[in-house]
């Protein structure tokens, strides 16, 4: 009981400290204003009249000069102020039930494809048991064949199914017409055909000939936020414009059929998915837009050789191409996250957390280097967290490092369970989960965090523009009532 009592006291001390520091300006200004008001009230009518007359007798040149200076300062301020970027709406691809891959189906296919290497089959089963994936994740039709048929035609077919479905849904939800799109950005890391996927979208919807289109490849699972950052920069220089970002990963040509364990991991985790996002800097979109983009912070650790090679596409000993995931991946992701939040912290954390971090940093430098570093409480800065559903280990590590509750990482865990690792689009399935649960209120702040090959850690901060009504359609519409579900540490197959 004494320990519990001390804990409660410490909690209230911290709350008092946070209130004092975060409202220090208000607490200083209010007494000053009150004191000024009292002094004015103490003045008699004659003194107030005399003060007013002295103001009226100011030199006309001084008044005009002061007014002109104020106008210049105001003009410079408003011209240098960045354009506000709104997220009007977005749409996530929902795979058809015919693409569903239950555990039994996945393992049966693995046994038939890798019948000469039972150890690889057992390895995949152990990974799947601990993956956090559920029974409803989906793989493209070409992977359902035995053996799989990863042809160019099949890959294009998957790309058309995912991207066009997401785009059609976005057009329907927003009322956007193809001719209204000024900027198009498509990101897909591992499938980069010629003509590009962005050209495929332009051809399908007959977009304008002067559209500014971009196709990003090889950027990994964090490419979605890189696309958002690129769109933001373009919207700063192109007024009154709409930008559409399409994030996906095409699985068909990248399903590994060899025996290297490091390359078999992606087979167990990656699944079909995609999202289309409408961004705009038009003032007319302010009222109906769901979110406002506040910050994008990008961190690249590619100068380090280990970080560069921790997610690496290469051939195995038999000449079969696959994505190799290094054992150092989680440690490298942790370092990238530290660098990212070091930049993000000063932008979003309240003054109380920044001061605590600064004092602890000074203490470690001057007094004792063994002091445990202070981890800022990012729950003070955000109501919602969308952590890239790269795998159970990724979510566990971030929950531990950022000291988040189970509810804070619920959207990430449930997205991994229902849809698997959908690469760069996973963040949008998570955001849609939060909306589908009716938790997104006006003024709420959302932190999206993603990791990608290279190695990169990218973050985006959004502020909710209006209270979001529970969507009637979308990827969670037919199953949200079943979630959250309990996900055991090991699912025995």
421 catalytic? Reply is: yes
Residue of 384, 386, 408, 457 marked active site: 384
Structure tokens at 154: 């099949």
- Can you tell me which residue has the tokens 């950052």? 229
Bridge-based pairing state of the strands 242-248 and 183-187: parallel
CA distance 447 to 381: 9
23 catalytic? Reply is: no
Residue of 187, 340, 421, 458 marked active site: 421
CA distance 307 to 336: 9
Residue of 417, 457, 458, 465 marked active site: 417
CA-derived radius of gyration, the chain: 27
The vertex-164 CA angle with 161 and 165, nearest 5°, equals 75
215 Rama class: left (phi>0) / alpha (psi -120 to 50) / beta: beta
Three-class DSSP category at 303: coil
Q: CB-based contacts of 162: which residues, under 8 Å, 6+ apart?
A: 93, 248, 250, 272, 273, 274
- Can you tell me which residue has the tokens 């995609």? 274
- In this structure, are residues 429 and 386 in contact, taking their beta carbons and an 8 Å threshold? no
486 catalytic? Reply is: no
DSSP string covering 106-119, please? HHHHHHHHTTT-HH
384 catalytic? Reply is: yes
Residue of 92, 138, 188, 221 marked active site: 221
Structure tokens at 290: 């769901």
CA distances from 464 to 173, 301, 389 (A): 18, 31, 22
Bridge-based pairing state of the strands 86-92 and 183-187: unpaired
- Inter-helix orientation angle 410-419/392-401, to 10°: 180
- Can you tell me which residue has the tokens 């039972």? 118
Residue of 138, 388, 432, 464 marked active site: 388
CA distance 257 to 266: 11
- Helices vs. strands in the chain: H and E counts, helices first: 16, 11
DSSP string covering 210-246, please? T-EEEEE-S-GGGHHHHHHHHHHHHHHHSSS-EEEEE
144 catalytic? Reply is: no
Q: Could you tell me how many residues make up the chain?
A: 493
Residues noted as catalytic: 221, 300, 384, 388, 417, 421
């Amino acid at each position: 009981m004494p320990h519990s009592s001390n804990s409660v006291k410490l909690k209230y001390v911290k709350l008092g400290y946070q209130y004092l520091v975060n409202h220090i300006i208000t607490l200083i200004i209010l007494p000053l204003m009150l004191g000024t008001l009292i002094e004015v009230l103490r003045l008699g009518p004659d003194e107030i009249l005399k003060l007013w007359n002295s103001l009226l007798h100011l030199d006309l040149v001084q008044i005009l000069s002061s007014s002109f200076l104020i106008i210049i300062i105001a003009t410079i301020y408003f011209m240098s102020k960045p354009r506000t970027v709104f997220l009007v709406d977005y749409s996530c691809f929902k795979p058809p039930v015919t693409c569903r891959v239950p555990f039994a189906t996945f393992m049966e296919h693995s046994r038939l494809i890798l019948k000469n290497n039972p150890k690889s089959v057992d390895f995949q089963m152990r990974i799947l048991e601990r993956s956090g994936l559920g029974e409803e994740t989906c793989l493209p039709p070409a992977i359902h064949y035995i053996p799989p048929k990863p042809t160019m035609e099949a890959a294009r077919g998957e790309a058309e199914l995912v991207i066009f479905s997401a785009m059609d849904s976005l057009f329907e939800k927003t009322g956007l017409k193809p001719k209204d799109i000024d900027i198009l950005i498509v990101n897909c890391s591992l499938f980069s055909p010629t003509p590009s996927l962005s050209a495929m979208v332009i051809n399908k919807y007959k977009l304008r000939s002067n559209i500014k289109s971009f196709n990003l490849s090889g950027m990994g699972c964090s490419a979605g936020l890189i696309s958002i950052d690129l769109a933001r920069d373009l919207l700063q220089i192109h007024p009154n414009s709409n930008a559409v970002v399409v994030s996906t990963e095409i699985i068909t040509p990248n399903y590994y059929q060899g025996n290297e364990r490091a390359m078999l991991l992606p087979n167990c985790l990656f699944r079909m998915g995609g999202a289309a996002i409408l961004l705009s800097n038009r003032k007319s979109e302010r009222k109906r837009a769901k979110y406002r983009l506040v910050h994008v912070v990008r961190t690249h650790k590619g100068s380090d050789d280990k970080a560069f090679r921790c997610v690496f596409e290469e051939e195995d000993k038999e000449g079969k191409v696959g994505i190799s995931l290094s054992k150092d991946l989680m440690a490298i992701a942790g370092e990238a996250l530290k660098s990212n939040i070091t930049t993000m912290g000063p932008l979003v954390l309240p003054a109380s957390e920044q001061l605590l971090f600064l004092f602890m940093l000074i203490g470690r430098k001057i007094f004792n280097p063994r002091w445990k570093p202070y981890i800022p409480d990012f729950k003070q800065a955000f109501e919602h967290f969308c952590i890239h559903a790269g795998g159970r280990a990724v979510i566990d590590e971030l929950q531990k490092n950022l000291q988040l509750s189970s509810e804070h990482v619920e959207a990430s865990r449930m997205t991994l369970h229902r849809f698997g690792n959908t690469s760069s689009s996973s963040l949008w399935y998570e955001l849609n989960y939060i909306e589908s649960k009716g938790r997104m209120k006006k003024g709420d702040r959302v932190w999206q965090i993603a990791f990608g090959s290279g190695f990169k850690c990218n973050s985006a901060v959004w502020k909710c523009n209006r209270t979001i009504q529970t969507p009637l359609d979308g990827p969670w519409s037919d199953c949200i009532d079943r979630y959250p579900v309990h996900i055991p540490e090991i699912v025995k197959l």
